[in-house]
Amino acid sequence: MLAWTHPACLTHDPGPGHPEQPARLRVVLDALQEAWPDLDWRDAPAARRGALLRVHADRLVDQVLEPLPAGLRHLDTDTLLSPGSARAALHAAGAGIAAVDAVLAGETTTAFCAVRPPGHHATADTAMGFCLFNNIAVAAAHARDQHGLERIAIVDFDVHHGNGTQAIFQREPKVAYLSSHQSGLYPHTGSVHERGAGNLHNVLLPPGSGGFRFRNTWLDTLLPALDDFRPQLVLVSAGFDAHLSDPLADLMLDADDFAWITAELRTVAARHGGGRLVSMLEGGYNLDALAECTVAHVGALRG
């Protein structure tokens, strides 16, 4: 497998005490490098404006990329820009594009993008929920438009619903969106009744569900829906904030649950898409748990 990151992703700094801090990426990189010194790392390129405009409005791109010499700029209560945010956002989005190109060129079958800020809450015209550009949506649109794929699946096991990803693709039958997420949490979207063009599959899990209910939900509902879609490419919004130690949620999973779902997704990808799978880091706000879960996830990607 291959992995992408970029030093610029450490320069997005929403300020002291913010959950989405640069230390998140530092612990991920340190843990992966310790676990697998042989992991093949690549520098994530900056996404070009045209790639962003496949899923985002001009005004959002301008808002994120507007120079900020110092201080912080609030986009909403929890989503902020710092002087390094624009470059970080460009390289975070560019990582997914580069990874898609690599798996579709046959250079690798699996890829992991260790980048931040996360992306799945960003809608076409609004940065929100710690997210500036929707990295996974940019990658999916690139796979569709530049590579001509007809069946792209985005699988999201972050504890929060990826409202932005869903909104961007809810009328696009070439892209399926499948998500399990905790009920009662931000952004309060992702009902089972939200079906889009028949391409949306949401399951809400109550607080305290734990691994048994999480796994059975995927086995009974979401994995069969993914199999029925027969994806040529699987993209993963890999959030680890469903871990039992995470301060922002209460789904009570552990690292083995993330390794399990990753292995299941690889099986579906192998069945329909030659094993092609690209994963992008989303949430996870307990640093020790984030490091442990990312190692488990990448371990399953390595096979």
Tally the residues of the chain. Answer: 303
Q: Residue 14 has which token pair? A: 């929403």
DSSP 140: H
- What are the tokens at 171? 């009328």
The β-bridge partners of 193 are none
Find out whether 190 and 237 touch, Cβ atoms under 8 Å. Answer: no
Catalytic (active site) residue 121? yes
| Phi and psi at residue 82, to the nearest 5° | -120, 175
Which residues have CB under 8 Å from 130's CB, separation 6+? Answer: 14, 19, 20, 78, 79, 117, 118, 121, 283
d(CA 186, CA 160): 6
- For residues 162 and 110, is the Cβ–Cβ distance under 8 A? no
Of 121, 161, 201, 243, the catalytic one is 121
Contact yes or no for 112/297 (Cβ under 8 A): yes
Give long-range contacts, CB 8 A cutoff, 24+ apart: 57-60: 57/124, 57/125, 59/125, 60/122, 60/124, 60/125, 60/126, 60/127, 60/133
Helix extents (H) in the chain: 22-35, 49-53, 58-65, 85-104, 135-147, 163-169, 210-217, 223-229, 255-273, 287-302
CA–CA gap between residue 249 and residue 161 (Å, rounded): 12
Q: Return the active site residues.
A: 121
